[in-house]
C-alpha cells in the first residue's frame, strides 16, 4: 500500500478553564495512508472532533495543543507559522462539518461562500471563480442556478451537498468529514454516502471520517480508530474491529449494536409480553390530526404534523413508535401528555374522553396517570435543584405517600432504578451526575407517582452507546414490576425491536405499518419499513452500491 | 420581493399603533391628572394670561364641554392637520411653527452624532472582540464604561467649561455665529460645523461604550459558530473572516437594538443641547418646562416620537437589505 | 441546599471576582455614607459662607451660589438620589418580570398583546414623556420614581420575556408541567431562580438608568428644587451660572459621585457576567499560558515543552 499521507504522534490538547485544564486529547497517535478511508469513532465529548480540528488548527480558545507532532508532506503542521497554516488549509486539507445549516453563513449566498476559496487560493478573477463554482455544484448534482440561493432556501440534503462541494473546491488530498450525515434521515444519508464514495473514486482523495456511529463505519471504512475520554483505545482494520477488536471497550461497543435483522438476541431482555389484550384500552387515540400554523403574521402556512392517527395502549404493554425526525412522533408524545392540543380527533383515558382543553389546565388526575421521560437527561432536570427536589415535588403534589414516609420512599425509588445508595444520590445536583445517572433520575421521577402510562421519548439517544442497553433493560424490568404501560418513541427500529411488544412505524405524520415486533421485523409489508430495516442491518451500504 | 413589502407594511402598521398610543397618551395625561387641567393651568398662570390666550389654550387641549369621546376625535383630527395648538410662552405663535425651527438642528446634531457613535462603536466592538484579551480589549471597555457613567449633560458642562470657557477653543453657545447669514453659504456651513463639534463629541463619547459592548458580545457569540470555523478552515485571511463572515452577521441584532435604543439615547442628546444652548428640540423643551408651556411640551413629545418612529423604519429597511432571511 | 448548588457557587464566585467585589465595596460605602454621613456634616441647606467661594480649609469643596457647603450638599444629596434610584430599579425589574414573564410564559394572544405594549413603550422617546408627566404631577421623589418606572420598565420586560421564552420550552419546565405543578410554582420555583443572574443585572442596570434619568429631570427643574439631591445640586449650579463664573467646584463633586456609583454598579454587572459565563475567565487564563503577544488569530496555538 501507499505511504502515509498524514501521521499524528503523541498529540495532547488541553482546554484552559478557570480551574484545572481539561485534558481533552491524551497522547493520540495514528497514521492515515494515501487513498484510505480512516474512521474515528467515539461518544460525544470523547475528543474526536478536537483531534481533527487540531490537524487544521481551527480549535477556538481556550484550546492549546500541548504536545505531539502532526506530520503532513514531511512538515510538522504544529510548527508552521500562521500564514503557512492558512496556505495549507483547504488546498491540502478540507473539512465537511456536521450540521450544514450551521456551517453555511446565513446572510451570504452559496456563490459568495464558494468563490472566496478560489480567489484566495488561486488568485482567480471573480468571473473565473463563478464559472468554477458552477462546475463544482454540478459535481454534487445541484443545478448551478442555486448559486444565488441562501442556506435557508435549500433542503437539508442539498445543504450537505453544498458543504461537500465547498470541501472539494481545490480537490485537496485529504478531506475530513465530521459527522457529515448525522443530521440527515436514513434515505438521504444513504444518498450522500454513495455520492461521497463515487466522488472518491473519480477524484482520488483520502477521507478521515468521524462519527459516533460505529455501525456506519463498519460499512465502508478501511481502518477504524476507537476513542474514549480523550484516548485512542485501539486502531485496527475494519474486519478485525467487526469481530470485536482487542479491547474490552470495543467489544462492548460492538455487542451493544442491536440489529434490526436476523435472530433476536435474548441475552439482555425479557421476552415480550404478547398475551392477548381484551377489554377496554387504557389509552386510546382516535383519528388524531394535528396542524400547526407556521410562518409570520402574513404568510401563514399549515404544517400537518400528525395525520389521522389512531392508537390503543393496554395496561402493562410496551409499544414502540418508530419514525425519523419530522415523522410526528414527538408531536404524538406532546398530544398524549397534553402539552399540545389536537386539531381534531379524540383521546380517551380509561374510556373517558378528554376535552380539548389547554395544556395549562389539565386535571391533576390525568397528570398522575400519564408521565414522561425526555430525550435529554440534562435538560429535563433543573440544574438549580437537587435530586430530592425533583422526586419529592410530584410525590407531594399527588399525595402518593404521607410526609413522614417521603424520604424512605424516595431512597427506595432511586434504588429501584439502580442508583444506590439512594440517600447519597438524593443530595446530588444534576451536574454532579453522569448522563446515564441523570436519565435514571428522570425515570424514577416518572415512576414516583405510580402512573399507568409512561411516555419515553428517545430516552437513550443522548446517552453513550455503551449504557443505552442498561437504560432499556431498566425500563423492561420496571414494566414487569409495576405493570406500567410504556410508549417507547425512537428513531431506531433495532432498539424498539428489543424493548417493545408491538411496533408502529410512522412517516410524515402517518402510520405506515404496525404489528407484533418480531413479525414486523421479519416480514415487513411496506417499502418504507423495509428501507428502515435495511438501513439498520449490516452490509446495507454495499447492497446499496450493488443496487446502483 | 412582495414579502419585503409585506414586512415593511407590517412594521409600518406597528409604528402607526405606536404613534396612536403616543397621541392618546398626550390626550389623556392632562385629563387623568388630579383636578381639572384647565383649572390647574388657570391657577398657575393667574393674571399672566390674556382671556384670548386662555381660550386658545382650552382649544389646544380640546377642553370643550362636549363628551370625552368627541373631544378625543376633534383632538386627533387637529393633530392630523398638523395643528399642535398655540404656545403659551410664545403666544400667539402656533406650536408647530416653533418646533419646526428647531427640528432641523436636532436632526443635524443628534442624528449625526448618533450615527457616528454607532459606526465607531460597532467597529471598535468588532475589532476588540477579534483581538480578545489584547491591550485594546482590556482597556477600552472599562474606560468607556467609566465615561458612560457620567450623565450626558454633566460631561457637556465639563467640556464646555474646559474647552469653551477656559481654553476658548470652541464657542460657548448656539448653533452658528451671529455674523453669518443663514442659508446655503460656506461661512454658515463652516460656522455650524464648528459649533457642533464640542456637543457632538461629548454625545459620541458617552454613547460609544454601549454600542461597542453590545457589538463585542454579539461578535463573540458569532465567532463561536460553525460557519466561522469553516471560513477559517478555508484558509481565508483574517480580514475577510472578520468583516465578511463575522461582522456581517453580528451587526444585525445591533441594528435592531439601535432602533430600539434610539428613543432612550435621544434623551441624552436633548439634555446636551440644553447645556450648549443649541437651538434644537432639547432647548425648546427646557423653555417649555421653565414657562410651563404645556402645548409646546406635548407638541415636542409628538414630533420627537414621530422622528424616532421614522428612524426605526429606516433601520427596518436597512435590515431588509442586510438579512436575506427577512426577505423570505 | 448544599454547597454544590449553582446559586451558592455563583455567590462565592461574585465574592472572589475582583471587579464585582470592588464595585460592591464602593456601592456599599456610598450607601453607608448617604445614611450616616449627614450626621457628621454641616447643614446642607444653611447659608454658611460667601457664595461661590472656592475650596478652602473651611469648606473643602467650596460653597455654592446660595452660600451652602458643597461637601455637605454632595453627601446629603446621595440619600434621596440613591433611594429613588434603587426603588425605581426594584420596581422596574418587578414590572418587567411580571409583564415580560407573563408574555413569555403564556405566549399566544397574551404575548401578542403584551409585546405590542412593551414595544410601543420602547420606541417612545423617554425624556419628553417624562417631562410631560413630571410637569403635570406635584414635584418630589414619589413623582420622580413613578415617572422613571413608567418610562423605564419596557426594556427589562423585553429582556425577561425573551429569556422566559427560551426557558419555558426547555424540558425541565415541560417535565414540571407533566408532573402536575401549578403555573405559579413553575414560574417562581423552577424558572425564576434560573433567571436570577439576569434579574440581578437588570436591577443594577435599571438603577444606573434611574440615577442618570433622575438627575436629568431634576436638572431640568422638574424635581422638588427645595430638597437636596444630586440632581437639584446640578440644577442650582447651572441656575447660578456656575460655568460663566468659572466656579467648577459647584458641579464637579456631584458629577464625580454620580459617575463613581454608576461605574461601581457597572463593575458589579461585569463581575456577574464573568461569574455566570466561565468562558470569559477561561479565555483570560488561556491567554496567560501563551507566549507574549499571541492573540487569537484563528490558528490554534501550540505550546510544547520541546518547542
Q: How far apart are CA B151 and CA B202, in angstroms?
A: 11
Q: How far apart are CA A330 and CA A457, in angstroms?
A: 7
Regarding whether B215 and B70 lie in a shared domain, the answer is: no
Q: Compute the CA torsion angle C138, C144, C146, C147 (nearest 10 deg).
A: 90
**Partners of A370 in beta bridges:** A453
What pLDDT is attached to residue A435? 86
Minimum distance, in Å, between the CA of residue A86 and any CA atom of chain B: 4
**Model confidence over C260-301: pLDDT tens digits?**
999 999 999 989 888 887 777 788 788 888 876 566 677 888
Minimum distance, in Å, between the CA of residue B5 and any CA atom of chain A: 11
Confidence class for position C203, pLDDT limits 50, 70, 90: very high
Residue B84 corresponds to which cell in the numbers above? 399642535
Q: How far apart are CA B212 and CA A164, in angstroms?
A: 37
**Which CATH number belongs to the domain containing residue B146 in this structure?**
1.10.3720.10
Report chain A residues whose CB lies below 8 A from the CB of C174: 337, 339, 372, 374, 380
- Do residues C248 and C237 touch, judged by C-beta distance below 8 A? no
Q: In sequence order, what DSSP letters do the residues of B263-286 get, joined into one string?
A: HHHHHHHHHHHHHTT-TTHHHHHH
- Do residues C136 and B33 touch, judged by C-beta distance below 8 A? yes
**Partners of B86 in beta bridges:** B94
What pLDDT is attached to residue A378? 83
User: Residues with Cβ < 8 Å from A191, sequence gap 6 or more?
Assistant: A157
**Other beta carbons less than 10 A from residue A375's beta carbon:** 21
Q: Specify the residue for cell string 461597542.
A: B212
More confident residue, C33 or C247: C33
What pLDDT is attached to residue A463? 80
Go through chain A and tell me how many residues it has: 548
| Assigned domain for B97 exists | no
- Do residues B222 and B249 touch, judged by C-beta distance below 8 A? yes
Report chain A residues whose CB lies below 8 A from the CB of B318: none
Regarding whether B236 and B199 lie in a shared domain, the answer is: yes
Task: Characterize the bridge pairing of strands A206-211 and A223-228.
Answer: unpaired
- Across the beta sheet with A301-313, what order do the strands follow? A301-313, A283-294, A344-349, A352-353
Nearest to B30 by CA among B297, B316, B306, B308: B297
What pLDDT is attached to residue C282? 80
Q: In sequence order, what DSSP letters do the residues of chain C get, joined into one string?
A: --TTSHHHHHHHHHHH-HHHHHHHHHHHHHHHHHHHHHHHS--TTS--SSTTPPP-SSSTT-B-TTS-BHHHHHHHHHHHHHHHHHHHHHHHHHHHHHHHHHHHHH-HHHHHHHHHHHHHHHHS-HHHHHHHHHHHSPPSHHHHHHHHHHHHHHHHHHHHHHHHHHHHTSHHHHHHHHTT--HHHIIIIIIGGGGHHHHHHHHHHHHHHHHHHHHHHHHTT-S-TTS--HHHHHHHHHHTTHHHHT-GGGTHHHHHHHHHHHHHHHHHHHHHHHHH-HHHHHHHHHHHHSPTT----SS--B--TT-
Residue A280 corresponds to which cell in the numbers above? 377496554
DSSP H/E element including A503 = strand A502-507
Q: Do A297 and B226 touch (CB under 8 A)?
A: no
Mutation target among A105, A122, A147, A159 for the B interface, most CBs of B within 10 A? A105
At residue B133, does pLDDT exceed 90? no
Minimum distance, in Å, between the CA of residue A428 and any CA atom of chain C: 8
Regarding whether B286 and B205 lie in a shared domain, the answer is: yes
- By C-alpha distance, the chain C residue nearest A338 is C178
**Model confidence over C64-95: pLDDT tens digits?**
777 788 888 888 889 899 999 999 999 999 99
- Across the beta sheet with A174-178, what order do the strands follow? A93-96, A174-178, A206-211, A37-41, A223-228, A231-237
Q: Structurally, how many domains does chain B consist of?
A: 2
Share the mean pLDDT of chain C.
86
Regarding whether B203 and B155 lie in a shared domain, the answer is: yes
Q: How far apart are CA A161 and CA B320, in angstroms?
A: 28
| Assigned domain for B182 exists | yes
What share of chain B has pLDDT > 70, as a percent? 90
| Assigned domain for B87 exists | no
Nearest residue, CB atoms, B150 vs list C120, C213, C258: C258
Confidence class for position A124, pLDDT limits 50, 70, 90: very high
Q: How far apart are CA C167 and CA C159, in angstroms?
A: 12
**Model confidence over A125-163: pLDDT tens digits?**
999 999 999 999 998 989 988 899 998 888 888 899 999
ipTM exceeding 0.90?
no
What share of chain A has pLDDT > 70, as a percent? 93
What pLDDT is attached to residue C164? 93
Q: In sequence order, what DSSP letters do the residues of A353-388 get, joined into one string?
A: EPP---GGG--HHHHHHEEEE-S-TTTTS-TTS-HH
Report chain C residues whose CB lies below 8 A from the CB of B312: 123
**Model confidence over B227-281: pLDDT tens digits?**
999 999 999 998 899 999 999 999 998 988 888 888 877 888 888 888 888 888 8
What pLDDT is attached to residue B32? 74
What mean pLDDT comes out for the span A329-342? 90
Residue B278 corresponds to which cell in the numbers above? 443649541
Regarding whether B109 and B63 lie in a shared domain, the answer is: no
Residue B319 corresponds to which cell in the numbers above? 435590515
What share of chain C has pLDDT > 70, as a percent? 96
At residue B30, does pLDDT exceed 50? yes
Q: Which chains touch B (3 or more CB pairs under 8 A)?
A: A, C
| Assigned domain for B88 exists | no
DSSP H/E element including A32 = strand A22-33
| Assigned domain for B91 exists | no
Regarding whether B154 and B285 lie in a shared domain, the answer is: yes
Residue A161 corresponds to which cell in the numbers above? 451537498
Q: How far apart are CA C35 and CA A283, in angstroms?
A: 66
Residue A165, SS3 per DSSP: helix
At residue B15, does pLDDT exceed 70? yes
What pLDDT is attached to residue C206? 94
Regarding whether B252 and B147 lie in a shared domain, the answer is: yes
| Assigned domain for B232 exists | yes
Q: Do B234 and A104 touch (CB under 8 A)?
A: no
**Model confidence over A178-210: pLDDT tens digits?**
988 877 777 788 888 999 999 998 899 999 999
At residue A298, does pLDDT exceed 70? no
User: Residues with Cβ < 8 Å from A359, sequence gap 6 or more?
Assistant: A338, A339, A340, A341, C177
What pLDDT is attached to residue A266? 56
DSSP H/E element including A29 = strand A22-33
At residue A356, does pLDDT exceed 90? no
- Do residues C125 and B305 touch, judged by C-beta distance below 8 A? yes
Burial of A361: CB neighbours in 10 Å, binned 0-12, 13-18, 19+: exposed
| Assigned domain for B159 exists | yes
Out of A96-110, B3-17, B265-279, C85-99, the most confident range is: C85-99
**Model confidence over B73-92: pLDDT tens digits?**
888 888 888 888 888 777 77
Task: Say if A49 is an interface residue toward chain B (CB within 8 Å).
Answer: no
Regarding whether B295 and B245 lie in a shared domain, the answer is: yes
**Partners of C69 in beta bridges:** C63
Confidence class for position B40, pLDDT limits 50, 70, 90: low
Radius of gyration (C-alpha) of chain A in whole angstroms: 26
Q: Specify the residue for cell string 422638588.
A: C224
| pTM summary value | 0.87
Nearest to B269 by CA among B256, B283, B253, B258: B283
User: Residues with Cβ < 8 Å from A171, sequence gap 6 or more?
Assistant: A203, A205
Domain that holds residue B260: 103-327
How far out from the chain centre does Cα A213 lie? Answer: 9
Task: Characterize the bridge pairing of strands A75-76 and A63-72.
Answer: antiparallel
Confidence class for position C2, pLDDT limits 50, 70, 90: low
More confident residue, C135 or A485: A485
- Do residues B250 and C184 touch, judged by C-beta distance below 8 A? no
Regarding whether B187 and B263 lie in a shared domain, the answer is: yes
What mean pLDDT comes out for the span B118-134? 89
Report chain C residues whose CB lies below 8 A from the CB of A79: 302
Regarding whether B120 and B75 lie in a shared domain, the answer is: no
Tell me the residues of C at the A interface, defined by beta carbons under 8 Å apart.
1-2, 4-7, 106, 170-172, 174-181, 183, 190, 193-194, 278-279, 281-283, 285-287, 289-290, 296-305
How far out from the chain centre does Cα B311 lie? Answer: 9
Q: How far apart are CA B247 and CA B242, in angstroms?
A: 6
Minimum distance, in Å, between the CA of residue B166 and any CA atom of chain A: 49
Regarding whether B202 and B53 lie in a shared domain, the answer is: no
Task: Say if B240 is an interface residue toward chain A (CB within 8 Å).
Answer: yes
Residue C248 corresponds to which cell in the numbers above? 467648577
What pLDDT is attached to residue C293? 59
**Lowest pLDDT segment from A42-56, A276-290, A489-503:** A276-290
**Model confidence over A419-471: pLDDT tens digits?**
889 899 999 888 888 888 999 999 999 999 999 999 999 998 878 777 888 88
At residue C1, does pLDDT exceed 50? no
| Assigned domain for B116 exists | yes
Q: How far apart are CA A162 and CA A151, in angstroms?
A: 9
Regarding whether B77 and B126 lie in a shared domain, the answer is: no
Amino acid at each position: 500500500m501507499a505511504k502515509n499521507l498524514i501521521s499524528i504522534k503523541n498529540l495532547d490538547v488541553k482546554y484552559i478553564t478557570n480551574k484545572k485544564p481539561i485534558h481533552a486529547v491524551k497522547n493520540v497517535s495514528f497514521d492515515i495512508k494515501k487513498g484510505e478511508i480512516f474512521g474515528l469513532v467515539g461518544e460525544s465529548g470523547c475528543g474526536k472532533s478536537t483531534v481533527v480540528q487540531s490537524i487544521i488548527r481551527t480549535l477556538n480558545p481556550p484550546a492549546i495543543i500541548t504536545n505531539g507532532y502532526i506530520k503532513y508532506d514531511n512538515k510538522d503542521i504544529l510548527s508552521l507559522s500562521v500564514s503557512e497554516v492558512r496556505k495549507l488549509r483547504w488546498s491540502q486539507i478540507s473539512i465537511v462539518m456536521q450540521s450544514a445549516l450551521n456551517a453555511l453563513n446565513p446572510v451570504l449566498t452559496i456563490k459568495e461562500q464558494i468563490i472566496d476559496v478560489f480567489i484566495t487560493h488561486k488568485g482567480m478573477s471573480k468571473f473565473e471563480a463563478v464559472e468554477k463554482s458552477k462546475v463544482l455544484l454540478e459535481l454534487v448534482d445541484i443545478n448551478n442556478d442555486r448559486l444565488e440561493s441562501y442556506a435557508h432556501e435549500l433542503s437539508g440534503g442539498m445543504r450537505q451537498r453544498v458543504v461537500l462541494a465547498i470541501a472539494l473546491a481545490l480537490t485537496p488530498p485529504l478531506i475530513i468529514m465530521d459527522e457529515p450525515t448525522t443530521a440527515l434521515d436514513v434515505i438521504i444519508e444513504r444518498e450522500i454516502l454513495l455520492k461521497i464514495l463515487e466522488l472518491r473514486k473519480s477524484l482520488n482523495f483520502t477521507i478521515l471520517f468521524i462519527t459516533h456511529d460505529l455501525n456506519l463505519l463498519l460499512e465502508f471504512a478501511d481502518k477504524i480508530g476507537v476513542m474514549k475520554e480523550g484516548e485512542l483505545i485501539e486502531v485496527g482494520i475494519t474486519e478485525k474491529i467487526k469481530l470485536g477488536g482487542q479491547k474490552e471497550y470495543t467489544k462492548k461497543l460492538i455487542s451493544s449494536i442491536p440489529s434490526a435483522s436476523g435472530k433476536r438476541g435474548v441475552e439482555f431482555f425479557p421476552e415480550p409480553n404478547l398475551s392477548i389484550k381484551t377489554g377496554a384500552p387504557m389509552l386510546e387515540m382516535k383519528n388524531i390530526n394535528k396542524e400547526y400554523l407556521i410562518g409570520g403574521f402574513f404568510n401563514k402556512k399549515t404544517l400537518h404534523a400528525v395525520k389521522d392517527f389512531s392508537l390503543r395502549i393496554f395496561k402493562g404493554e410496551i409499544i414502540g413508535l418508530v419514525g425519523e425526525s419530522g415523522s410526528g412522533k414527538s408531536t404524538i408524545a406532546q398530544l398524549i401528555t397534553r402539552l399540545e392540543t389536537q386539531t381534531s380527533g379524540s383521546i380517551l383515558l380509561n374510556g373517558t374522553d378528554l376535552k380539548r382543553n389547554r395544556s395549562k389546565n389539565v386535571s391533576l388526575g390525568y397528570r398522575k396517570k400519564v408521565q414522561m421521560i425526555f430525550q435529554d437527561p440534562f435538560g429535563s432536570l433543573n440544574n438549580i435543584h437537587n435530586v430530592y427536589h425533583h422526586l419529592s415535588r410530584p410525590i407531594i403534589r399527588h399525595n402518593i405517600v404521607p410526609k413522614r414516609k417521603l424520604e424512605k420512599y424516595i431512597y427506595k425509588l432511586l434504588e429501584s432504578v439502580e442508583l444506590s445508595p439512594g440517600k447519597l444520590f438524593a443530595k446530588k445536583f444534576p451536574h454532579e451526575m453522569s448522563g446515564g445517572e441523570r436519565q435514571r433520575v428522570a425515570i424514577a421521577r416518572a415512576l414516583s407517582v405510580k402512573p399507568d402510562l409512561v411516555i419515553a421519548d428517545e430516552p437513550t439517544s443522548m446517552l453513550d452507546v455503551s449504557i443505552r442497553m442498561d437504560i432499556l433493560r431498566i425500563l423492561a424490568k420496571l414494566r414487569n414490576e409495576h405493570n406500567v404501560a410504556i410508549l417507547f418513541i425512537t428513531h431506531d427500529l433495532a432498539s424498539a425491536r428489543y424493548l417493545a411488544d408491538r411496533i408502529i412505524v410512522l412517516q410524515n405524520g402517518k402510520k405506515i405499518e404496525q404489528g407484533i415486533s418480531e413479525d414486523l421485523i421479519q416480514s415487513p409489508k411496506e417499502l418504507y419499513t423495509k428501507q428502515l430495516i435495511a438501513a439498520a442491518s449490516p452490509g446495507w451500504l454495499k447492497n446499496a452500491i450493488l443496487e446502483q | 420581493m412582495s414579502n419585503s413589502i409585506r414586512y415593511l407594511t407590517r412594521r409600518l402598521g406597528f409604528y402607526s399603533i405606536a404613534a396612536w398610543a403616543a397621541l392618546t397618551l398626550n390626550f389623556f395625561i392632562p385629563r387623568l391628572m388630579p383636578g381639572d387641567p384647565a383649572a390647574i393651568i388657570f391657577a398657575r398662570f393667574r393674571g399672566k394670561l390674556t382671556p384670548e390666550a386662555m381660550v386658545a389654550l382650552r382649544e389646544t387641549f380640546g377642553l370643550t364641554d362636549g363628551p370625552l369621546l368627541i373631544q378625543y376625535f376633534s383632538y386627533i383630527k387637529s393633530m392630523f392637520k398638523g395643528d399642535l395648538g398655540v404656545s403659551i410662552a410664545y403666544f400667539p405663535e402656533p406650536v408647530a411653527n416653533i418646533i419646526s425651527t428647531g427640528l432641523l438642528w436636532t436632526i443635524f446634531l443628534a442624528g449625526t452624532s448618533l450615527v457616528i457613535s454607532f459606526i465607531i462603536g460597532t467597529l471598535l466592538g468588532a475589532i476588540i472582540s477579534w483581538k480578545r484579551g489584547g491591550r485594546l480589549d482590556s482597556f477600552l471597555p472599562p474606560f468607556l464604561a467609566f465615561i458612560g457613567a457620567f450623565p450626558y449633560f454633566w460631561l457637556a458642562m465639563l467640556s464646555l467649561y474646559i474647552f469653551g470657557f477656559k481654553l476658548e477653543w470652541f464657542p460657548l453657545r448656539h448653533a452658528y455665529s451671529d455674523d453669518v447669514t443663514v442659508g446655503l453659504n460656506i461661512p454658515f456651513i463652516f460656522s455650524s460645523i464648528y459649533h457642533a463639534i464640542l456637543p457632538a463629541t461629548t454625545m459620541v463619547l458617552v454613547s460609544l461604550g454601549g454600542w461597542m459592548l453590545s457589538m463585542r458580545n454579539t461578535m463573540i457569540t458569532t465567532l463561536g459558530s460553525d460557519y466561522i470555523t469553516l471560513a477559517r478552515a478555508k484558509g481565508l485571511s483574517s480580514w475577510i473572516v472578520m468583516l465578511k463572515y463575522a461582522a456581517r452577521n453580528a451587526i444585525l441584532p445591533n441594528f435592531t437594538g439601535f432602533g430600539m435604543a434610539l428613543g432612550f439615547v435621544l434623551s441624552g442628546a436633548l439634555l446636551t443641547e440644553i447645556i450648549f444652548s443649541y437651538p434644537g428640540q432639547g432647548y425648546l423643551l427646557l423653555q417649555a418646562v421653565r414657562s410651563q408651556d404645556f402645548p409646546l411640551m406635548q407638541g415636542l413629545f409628538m414630533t420627537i416620537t414621530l422622528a424616532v418612529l421614522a428612524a426605526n423604519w429606516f433601520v427596518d429597511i436597512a435590515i431588509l437589505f442586510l438579512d436575506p432571511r427577512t426577505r423570505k | 441546599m448544599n454547597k454544590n448548588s449553582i446559586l451558592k457557587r455563583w455567590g462565592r464566585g461574585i465574592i472572589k471576582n475582583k471587579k464585582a467585589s470592588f464595585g460592591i465595596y464602593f456601592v456599599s460605602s456610598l450607601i453607608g455614607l448617604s445614611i450616616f454621613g449627614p450626621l457628621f456634616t454641616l447643614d446642607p441647606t444653611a447659608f454658611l459662607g460667601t457664595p461661590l467661594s472656592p475650596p478652602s480649609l473651611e469648606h473643602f469643596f467650596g460653597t455654592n451660589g446660595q452660600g451652602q457647603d458643597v461637601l455637605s450638599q454632595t453627601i446629603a444629596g446621595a440619600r434621596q438620589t440613591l433611594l429613588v434610584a434603587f426603588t425605581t430599579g426594584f420596581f422596574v425589574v418587578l414590572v418587567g418580570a411580571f409583564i415580560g414573564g407573563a408574555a413569555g410564559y403564556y405566549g399566544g394572544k397574551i404575548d401578542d398583546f403584551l409585546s405590542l405594549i412593551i414595544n410601543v413603550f420602547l420606541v417612545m422617546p423617554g425624556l419628553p414623556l417624562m417631562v410631560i408627566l413630571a410637569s403635570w404631577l406635584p414635584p418630589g421623589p414619589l413623582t420622580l420614581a413613578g415617572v422613571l418606572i413608567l418610562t423605564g420598565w419596557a426594556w427589562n420586560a423585553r429582556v425577561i420575556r425573551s429569556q422566559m421564552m427560551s426557558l419555558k420550552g426547555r424540558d425541565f419546565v415541560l417535565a414540571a408541567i407533566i408532573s402536575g405543578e401549578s403555573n405559579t410554582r413553575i414560574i417562581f420555583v423552577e424558572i425564576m431562580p434560573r433567571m436570577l443572574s439576569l434579574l440581578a443585572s437588570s436591577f443594577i442596570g435599571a438603577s444606573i438608568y434611574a440615577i442618570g434619568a433622575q438627575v436629568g429631570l431634576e436638572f431640568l427643574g422638574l424635581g422638588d428644587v427645595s430638597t437636596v439631591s444630586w440632581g437639584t445640586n446640578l440644577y442650582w449650579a447651572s441656575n447660578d451660572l456656575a460655568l460663566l463664573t468659572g466656579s467648577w467646584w459647584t458641579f464637579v463633586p456631584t458629577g464625580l459621585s454620580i459617575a463613581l456609583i454608576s461605574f461601581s454598579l457597572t463593575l458589579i454587572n461585569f463581575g456577574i457576567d464573568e461569574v455566570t459565563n466561565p468562558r470569559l475567565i477561561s479565555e483570560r487564563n488561556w491567554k496567560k499560558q501563551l507566549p507574549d503577544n499571541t492573540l487569537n488569530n484563528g490558528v490554534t496555538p501550540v505550546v510544547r515543552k520541546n518547542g
